[in-house]
Amino acid sequence: MNPIVVVGSGMAGYTLARELRKASAEAPLLIITADDAINYSKPVLSNALSGGKLPEQIGMGDHAKMTEQLKASIMAHTQVLEIDKENKTLTLRTDAGIVTQPYAKLVLAVGASPIRIPIEGDGTSEVYAINSLIDYKTFHASLAQKKSKRVLLLGAGLIGCEFANDLLTTEHDVTVVDLAPRPLGRLLPQEVAIAFQKQLEAKGIRFELATTVKHIAHTDTGLSVTLANGQTFEVDIVLSAIGLKPNTELAHAAELAINRGIQVNQSLQTSHADIYAMGDCAEVEGHLLPYVMPLMQQARALAQTLTGNPSLVHYPAMPVSVKTPAAPLVVLPPAPHLEVTWNFEELEDGMIAKATIGDVLQGFILLGPTATKQRMALTKLVPDLLG
């Protein structure tokens, strides 16, 4: 019998595999991954420094352990090059060469890739991006070699702000640059973004906003950074956290429907019946939610579907805690198509912002230690995103 094949051993692929094993002890399962198949929790990467965790302490299970735990075959360091959806086969590049692998059902859990902006100069080799444990190891090793602790973060989004806070906690001198005029511009209304920025600035993070990096050059003492607004300063290392783009190339080449991500319906089925997608690469009924809670909901439903019990993914309201202890923040942005009214309540140590339509709470932002305590109570009031 041909196996269920899952492409990707990130949180999406492994969470699905665990749910599959709960639903069926026997279903033949093959996980194919381009990386080393180490199981790790990606959110840990942006607070590992302050948590005192070394990169080698982050992995929770290697290839052998995961094979045993999941009762699955796992092919590591194997790139899926092509999907032949008519013959239900994959073309793989393995250490031993190109091979063909048949599947019964295929799940794409191929994640997303960091967006890079073009920067001039010979210092761009010192620009790192972190979207995996392997990336983190590389960055960490380079950071440890620097004589001084000046870090430039490109991007004031969720991940950029988390890394900025983490580096600050370990006494790095942190400057964050973003084209947007405020941090977390896509998630926060201006009022909260201003307060969030002030709290981070008060703890020592420097923001250079409404500009971008044009040039990075090596000097005798580090890297000279030139911004589009003309400012020049020195740093030792650059971390780029501009954003992530779903990996859609494989699906696109197989002529599956693509929008911002691989388009799937509420069964997580792509435009082809035997191929599913989940995690950061998937756009579920128009929702692109690259976070942990959505992929857990997806895994539960998809495991049922793949083992003969067709199920729809259910999205309750799913707030995200931003790991910036210098300015604790919980965000549950309203769905983008909703025309909401924002109400703001100032607190001594932060702010509560509620997005409503009539009497119905559609989303909220909680800033500061007092506000974030309301996470559970407010989440219960927000309608499901996908019933």
Q: Which stretch binds ligand FAD (CB under 6 A): 106-114, 211-219, 297-305, 351-359?
A: 106-114
**Residue among 250 and 371 whose Cβ is closer to ligand FAD:** 250
Candidates 5, 6, 11, 262: give the one binding ligand FAD (CB under 6 A).
11
Q: Which stretch binds ligand FAD (CB under 6 A): 1-9, 50-58, 138-146, 372-380?
A: 1-9
Residue (of 374, 92, 75) closest to 250 by Cα position = 92
Candidates 7, 200, 251, 299: give the one binding ligand FAD (CB under 6 A).
7
**Residue among 23 and 241 whose Cβ is closer to ligand FAD:** 241
Q: How many residues bind ligand FAD (CB under 6 A)?
A: 35
Question: What is the smallest separation between the CB atom of 364 and ligand FAD, expressed in angstroms?
Answer: 17
Looking at this protein, which amino acid is placed at residue 96?
A
Q: Does residue 90 interact with ligand FAD by CB under 6 A?
A: no
Candidates 8, 319, 334, 368: give the one binding ligand FAD (CB under 6 A).
8
Question: What is the smallest separation between the CB atom of 346 and ligand FAD, expressed in angstroms?
Answer: 26
**What is the SS3 string spanning the chain?**
CCCEEEECCCHHHHHHHHHHHHHCCCCCEEEECCCCCCECCHHHHHHCCCCCCCHHHCCCECHHHHHHHHCCEEECCCEEEEEECCCCEEEEEECCEEEEEECCEEEECCCEEECCCCCECCCHHHEEECCCHHHHHHHHHHHHHCCCCEEEEECCCHHHHHHHHHHHHCCCEEEEEECCCCCCCCCCCHHHHHHHHHHHHHCCCEEEECCCEEEEEECCCCEEEEECCCCEEEECEEEECCCEEECCHHHHHCCCCECCCEEECCCCECCCCCEEECHHHEEECCECCCCHHHHHHHHHHHHHHHCCCCCCCCECCCCEEECCCCCCEEEECCCCCCCCEEEEEEECCEEEEEEEECCEEEEEEEECHHHHCCHHHHHCCCCCCEC
Candidates 4, 12, 152, 313: give the one binding ligand FAD (CB under 6 A).
12
Q: Does residue 159 interact with ligand FAD by CB under 6 A?
A: yes
**Residue among 229 and 321 whose Cβ is closer to ligand FAD:** 321
Positions 244 through 273 that interact with ligand FAD (CB under 6 A): 247, 250
Q: Which stretch binds ligand FAD (CB under 6 A): 251-259, 292-300, 329-337, 366-374?
A: 292-300
Q: Does residue 290 interact with ligand FAD by CB under 6 A?
A: yes
Candidates 10, 121, 222, 261: give the one binding ligand FAD (CB under 6 A).
10
Nearest-angstrom CA–CA distance, 153 and 243: 12
Residues near 206 by beta carbon (within 8 Å), at least 6 away in sequence: 174, 175, 176
Q: Which stretch binds ligand FAD (CB under 6 A): 18-26, 197-205, 219-227, 287-295?
A: 287-295
Question: What is the smallest separation between the CB atom of 90 and ligand FAD, expressed in angstroms?
Answer: 9
* 262-264 and 173-178 beta bridge pairing: unpaired
Q: Which stretch binds ligand FAD (CB under 6 A): 3-11, 166-174, 257-265, 376-384?
A: 3-11
Site map 107..146 versus ligand FAD, x via CB under 6 A: --xxxx-----------------xx---------------
Question: What is the smallest separation between the CB atom of 335 and ligand FAD, expressed in angstroms?
Answer: 17
Candidates 209, 228, 292, 312: give the one binding ligand FAD (CB under 6 A).
292
Residues lying near ligand FAD in the complex (CB under 6 A) are found at 7-13, 32-35, 42-43, 45-46, 79-80, 109-112, 130-131, 159, 247, 250, 279-280, 290-293, 295, 320, 323
